[in-house]
Structure 1
Amino acid sequence: MKPLFYIAAAVMIAVALALLLLPLLRHGRQAGRPHSLFVLMLGIALMIPVGAALLYWQVGTPAALNGVPQEVDVKKALDELRAHLAAQPNDIQGWLLLAQADMEMQQLQDARGAYGQILKLSPDNTSALVGWAQADSAASDDHHISDRARDLLERAIKLDPDNQRGLWLLGISDFQHGHFAEAAATWRKLQPLLQPGSNVAQAVAEQIALADARAGSAPASASSVATATDQGAQLHVQVALSPKLDAKLAKGDTLFVYARAPDGPPMPLAVARLSADQLKQAPASVTLTDAMSMVPSMKLSSVSRVVVGARVSHSGNAMAQSGDLEGDSGVIDVGSKAAVKVLIDKVHD
């Protein structure tokens, strides 16, 4: 379907723009510039090609632009695309366009559903395999990569070993599960595929250094050593379990201690994974640092205030589950030198 070809091309342009602009967003946040400014910049840059594509979808040909209102009703265009897919549910390119548009508009559940439709039609479609995993992770409170998402990522990499987004997400999954050596190895496969010296390559190198440091390995270079050992901001945390929840603590439970921005995204700025068994004897102590961040641009030193929380997971899953035990410190200053005390006194619904 020719219109969908041009629309899909516009989506590819939007993705390329995202890859170019995300490093700028990351650098801007580190420099202290307002987050909203870069989000607006990124949104405009992404929606221009997507909006143009959807306008093409509405008017059909460039010649038909004469007399067309200048404002693009993106919602109407997407509704028409959904109507088209209802009539032609086997149109893979149409589903791909819808999934990409939903991702850009932060309609993450819809994006996951659209990628799911593609996988029903084409189980080995690597764009859909990686896209479903990304949408599923983005839709979760802590951006955790689920077991199914990881299975899809592994399949995508088996089909396309040079899939850059797939390698990045698979490394994040390794890191989230505490498999730091595996995360570093996965990201090292990604490095040769990136432009040397680019911001993206630098960010990946920093993540490899962090994974090496957490795994107890020596980073690959002197600059990586400096990155890994410069812990920046630190918060000393003491976690205690309320006596009323003693009976709910089971052997083998996992304790997650984390810090997040009070008004920012739910992804932790720093997170530590410990055995919850020690809570039976005394409060658990841990120091959260910049080295415990998930991505270089989101760490303790990137904000002035945080909420420190702790959660006992019965499943060992980083994503909160019903029945988990949790508590938090409230909002505190990152520069605080006093120990942050967290009491786990609630049960997650």
Structure 2
Amino acid sequence: MMFLSLEATDSAIEALSRAYRLSPDNEEIATTYAQISFFANKGQLDASSRRVLQDVLAKNPQHEGAQMLMAMGEARGSNFAEAQGWIKRLQGSIVAKPGDHTKALASLDELSNYVSTQEKQALEGIDVTVKINANLLLLVKADDVLFVAIRDVKGGPPFAAKRLPISIIKQGEASIRLSNLDAMMPDRTLNSARSDKTQLAVVARISHSGNAIAESGDLSGNPIMISVEQTQVNVEINQQIP
């Protein structure tokens, strides 16, 4: 399982996208395109790279590079059961090959343990249901980005935040879990906020530019105050920033 060390620039992604469209059956081009997109998206599988990997695996179910990307992408997306499933498939592929694969299998065991640890931390998080007011749905564009964060009502960096493709919203609604895994700083987590009895607020915003800072034209909602013990909250995006 060797991953190419390539700089994930927009131009590289576009070039590989064109190459993939011209040669969709070329596994090397397909997996390289998916890999570059994966790292450019900070370890997240977008709809395009996921579709490419699924096509590769449909033709070659034992493709180890594609299996590994699926495992890492599902783990990053907090789809832990799916991630563990891909790890098991990858282990099976390696065991079936002749030779000594002790190191590779040990690495996969470490990855599996890491995913289990991540899952335990995620279970301590807060489920956020984001709804878009029906009057604003026509203002949402296909390449928009959804930001969801939990912060101190007094200000400062979020205790947890996610930047997600707008495609996560289905029929005007999305369910997102924020946990210690989504901390921006290692010492500023939801657990630390709970320990300090910090008054928290959940905010959600749809950005047209993808900028983490709110801009005119973005869609947002009022911050929703929550208690440190709360594990679920609903947020409505119901206004456009002037």
TM-score (norm. length: structure 1): 0.38
Structure (1/2) with the larger strand percentage: 2
Bigger radius of gyration, 1 or 2? 1
Point out the structure with the larger helix share.
1
Higher relative contact order (CA 8 A, sep 6+): 2
